[in-house]
Amino acid sequence: MPCVFLSQTAIQLSPTKVLIIYTGGTIGMVEDASSGSLHPLDFSHLSTEVPELDKLSVDLEVTSISDPIDSSNVDPAVWLELVDLIEKNYHAFHGFVILHGSDTMAYTASALSFLLEYNQKPIIFTGSQLPIGKLRTDGKENLITAIEIAGDYQQGIPMVPEVAIYFEYALYRANRTLKISAEHFEAFQSPNYPLLAEAGVHIKYNRFAINKPEKDGVSLFCRKSVCCDVASIKFFPGMRREAFNAVASIPELKGLVIETFGSGNAPLVSWLKEEVEALIKQGVVILNITQCVSGKVEQQKYETGIHLEKMGIISGGDMTFEAAICKLMYLLACDELSSDELRSYLSQSIRGELS
């Protein structure tokens, strides 16, 4: 059964130990002095590029996935490799910093928030818009502060016992985050949930927004599979039935995320009802999220949303697309869930991804 929020047990590792996991991406690039070209940084020499790390009161170790790649090439196999790395090192470290390209960071971070059941330690994703070897890089500050947050414990308890994204002075809940800019250093937003922390002269934690512990005595449980038999459809005025059906007819389709207008509305056309009813009859789970950056799906509000509710489409509330697709992939792989349980978990918050 997917977990709800559970508490962290105080650990006695001393001094604070943080594992940096490199997956690839802009932050890991340095400039060749002679040619000016960019090449991957040898992370065994990380302190050469970021000498400030030696001033941190944290023991650091560095590892990487087997084949660091551009984040646009990240797939669920990379998610599962990260899960495996964290599982193997979980009891040896206070926290983890995952260096990841920003393009798909919100997907990977959201996926790990679901796959790492009963996680009770800081797992902080970060990256940069400029390579760490560039003079004006944002990578140094992002890396240093992410490490500080990952290793920040008070009385043996972590300040941020969840999966999060740190970027440009802000800490976001992983599954509430989306990338909004390919150019600005402030590349991410969390439009429907407050920041977990803000970094200025001091790191100011918004404790009300961070996971609240409930029980002790639970252990990390790692899911080792996801279901990739999913798809998405974004509605637009004038969409033809053939366009919808091209996606809906994918062989072995098990889950579909639809991105609708406003508060979860779609056109009142007969062909949509026929297509949706056929999918649901086949056992396909359909999850409705809004195309809007902020706000939520309310399928009972307008006639154009009520007809989706009556068809059996599940409201995704205020989930981001990244969280919605990753949650669907995660739950569909939980073979122990009945159809009713799966639908129930989709419509409720299990990792803080949904208001």
Q: Which domains does the chain have, with CATH numbers?
A: 17-222 (3.40.50.1170), 230-346 (3.40.50.40)
**8 A C-beta contact, residue 288 and residue 321:** no
Integer Cα distance of 133 and 139 in angstroms: 9
Query: Which residues share a beta bridge with 81?
Result: none
Q: What long-range pairs does 251-254 form, CB within 8 A, spacing at least 24? A: 253/229, 253/279, 253/282, 253/284, 254/227, 254/229, 254/230, 254/283, 254/284, 254/285, 254/332
What tens digit of pLDDT does each residue of 294-338 get?
A: 999 999 999 999 999 999 999 999 999 999 999 999 999 999 999
- Residue among 284, 285, 341, 274 nearest 307 (CA): 274
The DSSP call for residue 138 is S
pTM: 0.92
Q: Give the count of alpha carbons within 13 A of 308, CB side only.
A: 28
Q: What is the mean pLDDT of the chain?
A: 91
**8 A C-beta contact, residue 112 and residue 83:** yes
* Cα separation of the two ends of the chain: 20
Q: Which residue has tokens 């929020």?
A: 5
Confidence check: pLDDT of 244 > 50: yes
Tell me the helices (H) and strands (E) count for the chain, helix number first. Answer: 9, 20
The predicted pLDDT at position 131 comes to 81
> What is the share, in percent, of the chain residues with pLDDT greater than 70?
90
The predicted pLDDT at position 161 comes to 96
Q: Give the count of alpha carbons within 13 A of 338, CB side only.
A: 3
**Other CB atoms within 10 Å distance of the CB of residue 118:** 16
Amino acid at 97: V
Between β-strands 29-31 and 38-40, what pairing exists: parallel, antiparallel or unpaired?
antiparallel
Mean pLDDT lowest among 19-33, 66-80, 227-241: 19-33
Tell me the catalytic residues: 26
Confidence check: pLDDT of 176 > 80: yes
In order of 78, 84, 163, 260, 287, the CA distances from 114 in angstroms are 15, 14, 9, 24, 17
Between β-strands 38-40 and 188-189, what pairing exists: parallel, antiparallel or unpaired?
unpaired
**Based on the number of CB atoms within 10 Å of its own CB, is 218 exposed (0-12), middle (13-18) or buried (19 or more)?**
middle
Q: How far does Cα 266 stand from its chain's mean position? A: 27
Integer Cα distance of 25 and 39 in angstroms: 11
